Amino acid sequence: MDQKALTLHEQAAQLIMTGISANGMTSAERSVARDQKPGGLLLMGSGGSLAHTRTATAAASTAATVKGIRPLIAADQEGGQIQRLKGAGFDRIPAATVQGTWTAAKLTSRATGWGSQLKQAGVNLDLAPVADVVPASQRSTNEPIGKLDRGFSSSPSVVGQHAAAFVRGMAAAGVATSVKHFPGLGRVRGNTDFSSGVVDTVTVRGDSDLAGFAAGIRAGSELVMVSTVTYTKIDPANRAVFSPTIIQGMLRTDLRYSGVVITDDVGAAAEVASVPAGDRATRFVAAGGDIVITAKASLTSVMVNALARKAQQDKQFAALLQASVRRVLTLKQKHGLVSCS
């Protein structure tokens, strides 16, 4: 696939993942998919049966396809309280706290089954597993992970074994994964979806709690999701998604990760509400990131236009944008989402 076949606007759109209803696109979402051609679609809400989901994803994929390049279609399918798709045909997935008590072999085998159901439903990316480590003493006060039973364990090595097992199982089913939420939400109190000013005052560069991310990457996770929290001991001036120190320094250099870097939601999340929507996209790509998630479909055009405009004005940024598009297209090619005309 020659990315030069894409206009600048089409290239910028490959870096946006837009939230759509898992039950089938609303007319507003359909217009966004058709007009903007976002490179990714994130299923929101609980959706219906596997067969119904397959119909919905097929229509969405057709609407967003541009020049033979189909979209990534993602779901948050972790287990327990965070399982988007749970209608007929989808197994109920136990919470990560339960998965963490299984052997790695059992988790890989079960994840292969869950992944096969996603694949049949037209979903090619699971925004999981959670590699965050919540200290045992903070489980009841940690809003994003601990309180929702989303962590495999309070031991970094156990988290690493299980994150890797989950990644391998999904890969066996042909589904890409994204370890999250780098560099960890285990030591914060607030949930960035609903609170702003969430900070981690403990985690350091090279922290032992990063073991889960390193293990997920070694196991072949094709995406890493970056959090919107500010880590005061690493980069006090920037939220992680806007931090070159975290994305270029820790992820790309320290962990030698060369795959796709994706944001946690920066569309509807309270944490970034004070940052203009276009800047959320440009600052992430400028920091070295690739795919921007917006749960609000209405922000898609704002973000695409901001990326294209900045690339027109700034050569250095244009080079970063093109490198990001290349990573995204390479991932898509691997998953059979690119048909060269």
The predicted-structure confidence for 50-99, as pLDDT tens digits, reads as follows: 999 999 999 999 999 999 999 999 999 999 999 999 999 999 999 999 99
Residue 1 is predicted with a pLDDT of 66
- Give the mean pLDDT of the chain: 97
pLDDT digits (tens, 9 = 90+) for 110-150: 999 999 999 999 999 999 999 999 999 999 999 999 999 99
| Region 15-334: CATH code | 3.20.20.300
Supply 131's token pair: 């590699």
Beta-bridge partner residues of 239: 230
CB 156 within 8 A of CB 200: no
Q: What is the mean pLDDT of residues 295-310?
A: 98
Q: Which of 39, 52, 80 is nearest to 337 (CA)?
A: 39
Beta-bridge partner residues of 17: 40, 293
Residue 19 is predicted with a pLDDT of 98
CB 108 within 8 A of CB 129: no
Given a cut of 60, whether residue 253 has pLDDT beyond it is yes
Given a cut of 80, whether residue 2 has pLDDT beyond it is no
Residue 3 is predicted with a pLDDT of 87
Tokens 């996603």, residue? 118
Supply 302's token pair: 């704002």
Pure H helices in the chain:
8-13, 27-36, 50-64, 96-99, 104-120, 156-172, 211-218, 244, 277-286, 300-313, 315-334
Beta-bridge partner residues of 21: 44
**HEC sequence for 191-226:** CCCCCCCCEECCCCCCCHHHHHHHHHHHCCCCEEEE
Q: What is the mean pLDDT of residues 27-49?
A: 96
Q: Which of 292, 282, 317, 203 is nearest to 250 (CA)?
A: 203
> What is the identity of the amino acid at 187?
R
Beta-bridge partner residues of 82: 79
52/109 Cα distance (integer angstroms): 26
Q: What is the pTM of this model?
A: 0.98
pLDDT band with cut points at 50, 70 and 90 for residue 341: low
